[in-house]
Amino acid sequence: MDWFERITALREGRLPAADAAFDDAEPVRWECARTPGLDARLVRSLARDPSASVRAAVAARSDLDARLAEDLSWDDSPLVRAAIAGRADLDEGIRARLRADMDERVLAALGEWDRALLIQSMPERPKPSKKKWFR
């Protein structure tokens, strides 16, 4: 089966999620991360996937636990941080920290339109800070 056929098999219940979560093809892992009712261990494993798209799909899950949301809020990828920032159940401490993010996608997901537009209007987007935030 090619990657699209494996996604179809996953959707139809013919491919176990445990197999899809470790598939070589990124789109298969992404679709798995979006699958409702995944075992918590698979969700945690997918949260460490090398693909930002897969991690962002995990961040958008309605059943994401608070600890994993906290971990993903520190992700290097703005795509993942934006998915966390857009959550209706976002912890206020995480929200406050992400307001200092300089990626317009993260700021827009928070509803911080003035900040997002200012960053977006810059001729060149700010480079990510070389120093890591302290957890």
Residues 82-124 have pLDDT tens digits of 999 999 999 999 999 999 999 999 999 999 999 999 999 999 9
pLDDT at 127: 82
pLDDT at 125: 87
pLDDT at 90: 94
How far apart, in Å, do the first and last CA atoms of the chain sit? 43
CB environment 97-134: b (16+ within 10 A), e (fewer): ebeebbbbbbbbbbebeebbeebeeeeeeeeeeeeeee
Answer whether residue 135 shows pLDDT above 90.
no
The domain limits of the chain are 3-64
Answer whether residue 133 shows pLDDT above 80.
no
List of long-range contacts for 32-41, beta carbons under 8 Å, 24+ apart: 33/57, 33/58, 33/61, 34/60, 34/61, 35/10, 36/63, 40/65
Answer whether residue 4 shows pLDDT above 90.
yes
Spatial CB neighbours of 131, under 8 Å, sequence gap ≥ 6: none
- In tens, the pLDDT along 12-62 reads 999 999 999 999 999 999 999 999 999 999 999 999 999 999 999 999 999
pLDDT at 128: 73
pLDDT at 29: 98
**Entry pTM:** 0.91
**Residue 73: Cβ within 10 Å count:** 25
pLDDT at 130: 57
Residue ranges with strand state E in the chain: none
